Structure 1
Amino acid sequence: MFLLTDRDDVWLKLIDPSDAQAIFSCIDRSRDHLRAWLPFVDGTKSVDDTLSFIKSVQEQYGRNDGIQTGIWTKDGLQGIIGFHAVDWVNRKTSLGYWLSADAVGNGYMTAACRALTTFAFDYYQLNRVEVRAAEDNHASRAIPQRLGFREEGILHEVEWLYDHFVDHVVYAMMAGDWAPERRQGSTVVANR
């Protein structure tokens, strides 16, 4: 399954084992960049570690608990975006994402977040999508801000990042607030 974004040069594809080398290479070439904000980087030492991650996200998909997708361009894999989990009772989810260092600043993540937010509301029929970002991670925080998510507050010392705690800023979008101008034609489920 592919999710088409509002851009012709960026698309999302469900992660599968054939993506293991591309994902590992993307992480490996961006270790310092990713390690500043993501706790999984040091534990990703080989393609086998990436295959374990892929197995877990395939199980997540099999449980109907969300999706994890690669962010692709003509130059290959640029990063990952997906749902941490889906709370079907309360009709909500949260987005998690990362982008390789050499892909930052091209608008890929904004297009990907717009596509998955639209997917959450239109396909899953959820009511709430959250994004949580480290308070000092201004690049990550800019994505939900750019898309019109509402800042709801700060969770103090909520994540252990190698040797210290970090605070997270919580952003949320409700289905009723996801207006057509925010969608910009994103998220068509298709085979490519």
Structure 2
Amino acid sequence: MKKLLIAAGIGLAAMTSAHVHAATYTIDTQGAHAFVQFRIQHLGYSWLLGRFNTFDGQFEYDAAAPEKSAIEVVIDTASIDSNHAERDKHLRSEDFLNVKEHPQARFKSTGFRSTGEGSGVISGDFTLNGVTRSISFPVERIGEGEDPWGGYRAGFMGKTTLTLADYDITYNLGPASAQVEIELHIEGIRQ
């Protein structure tokens, strides 16, 4: 009986510790189940849409302890794609992303506050064009569960608006183009 109680105690401790620690997920960029997209007004007349084709990262997540969530994403700024080669060349130049000097943008979270079931606000440091600023934005869990290949996945989305001048991007496209909207859609594979 004593051995049974000890075994049960060890099993309960193992189950409890599994819920205390967040699981690590690798963002599924290989299967193209993650996207970093942007949208900015063009002279106030239309929207220019685009994305970054190359990025990587991981996140920590535990539904039982969402306050322990964390994420880090590294973006290859030269991979910007607005569906127009000449415009992309200009966006890579010193007028905008200056990819020769600053080949990466990075977001690394510093905190997470839950705002309800599957939603919250993530805070962190975002570095773009060599400038790092603290930002916060809402995130939403899309879903999680087993995949057809025996793995476990979780998906989230977040959206924020950045003022370009805050990152020393001051090329004048008019006041309607002073800010860019960034959307992060990620699906991670639990490790």
- Indicate the structure (1 or 2) with the bigger Cα radius of gyration: 2
TM superposition score normalised by structure 2: 0.27
TM superposition score normalised by structure 1: 0.27
Structure with a larger share of its residues in strand: 2
